[in-house]
Amino acid sequence: MKNYKNILTETEGAISIITIDRPKQLNALNKETIAELHEAFDNFDKDEKVRAIIVTGSGEKAFVAGADIKEFMNFDSVQGRELAAKGQKLLFDFVENLNTPVIAAINGFALGGGLELALASHIRMASDNAKMGLPEVSLGVIPGYGGTQRLAQIIGKGRAMEMILTAGMIDATTALNYGLVTEVVSQAELMDAAKSKAEKLLKNSPKAQSFAIKAVNASYYKNGFETEKDLFGQAFATEDFKEGTTAFVERRRAKFTGK
Ligand code: CAA
């Protein structure tokens, strides 16, 4: 098994587990982590013995607290668009279209790119301490890893609009009510629950499952993803983006001017 810097991988029988392992940064997704995740998902997907993949976060606090704000805060709009496009290609669109079913075991904060990774997964379950949200507009940017599209697809446009525009977080019970996750258990029980969900996948035809993933995904228009990338990039050219990301690092409330 390959050693990665930012993720841990293991396989138990036909179930592989990928754990994002930057707990001090609440498992935020920097470029290197995204590249490692791509490689791990790709390798497991190509391995015929692997029939289900569980993705989770290290530590008790976070699944993933988003894209790494410190890495992109000085990007311009071209770099911003590129960040979204590359991330979606390597990880978010990639996971959504894998042949092997992916279960997101959301063990704490799933914010921004973290929730977007869960949204790209095929099945989502959460621990009862989990908090989910797309807080990007509080940073002067928009969700750029597919969140504007997939959140609306999964919980409906009205609830998605409210979550995205308020930048608020919802708890696990609300997420269950919204259909954002299909099961909530205690944090101690989460991995066992994810594994028993994965076991249920093993008895069915892997070929048919991979066709089913493609068929379900086929009904969603993809133009929205292009618009999202364009607008994500444009947001990087605004004063609000500079203010929002700087305020985050300086641990103060952002003062937005709308410019
Ligand atoms: N990027 C980079 N670093 C992050 C991070 C992120 N998304 N989230 C947390 N961290 C870091 C913090 O900066 C802090 O690092 P230091 O100890 O070096 O200062 C460490 O993780 C612990 O975080 P906090 O001290 O902030 O922990 P807290 O308990 O006070 O707050 C939190 C927890 C509410 C999740 C808070 O960390 C937070 O709001 N994080 C940012 C969430 C966010 O805005 N995510 C969206 C990112 S943008 C995005 O994802 C764009 C996209 O769609 C492509």
**What is the full DSSP assignment across 62-79?**
EEE--B-HHHHTT--HHH
The residue whose C-alpha atom lies closest to atom 35 belonging to ligand 1 is 65
Asked if the model's pLDDT at residue 2 lies above 90, the reply is: no
Average the pLDDT over 153-170 and give the result: 98
Asked if the model's pLDDT at residue 254 lies above 70, the reply is: yes
Q: Which helix (H) or strand (E) holds 169?
A: strand 169-171
Domain ranges within the chain, ordered by starting residue: 7-189
Residue of 25, 145, 150 best suited for mutating to test ligand 1, as the one with most atoms within 8 Å of CB: 25
Token pair for 149: 């599209």
pLDDT in tens, 123-151: 999 999 999 999 999 999 999 999 999 99
The residue whose C-alpha atom lies closest to atom 42 belonging to ligand 1 is 65
Burial grade of 251 (CB within 10 A; 0-12, 13-18, 19 or more): exposed
Residue of 69, 74, 253 best suited for mutating to test ligand 1, as the one with most atoms within 8 Å of CB: 69
DSSP SS3 for 83:
helix
DSSP state of 90: I
Give the nearest ligand 1 atom to 143 CA: 53
State the catalytic residues: 116, 136
Give the nearest ligand 1 atom to 147 CA: 53
**Cα separation, 259 vs 257, whole angstroms:** 5
From residue 106, alpha-carbon distances to 111, 152, 181, 245, 256 in Å are 11, 19, 9, 25, 31
The residue whose C-alpha atom lies closest to atom 21 belonging to ligand 1 is 25
CATH code, 7-189: 3.90.226.10
pLDDT in tens, 29-40: 999 999 999 999
Express as a percent the part of the chain with pLDDT over 70: 99
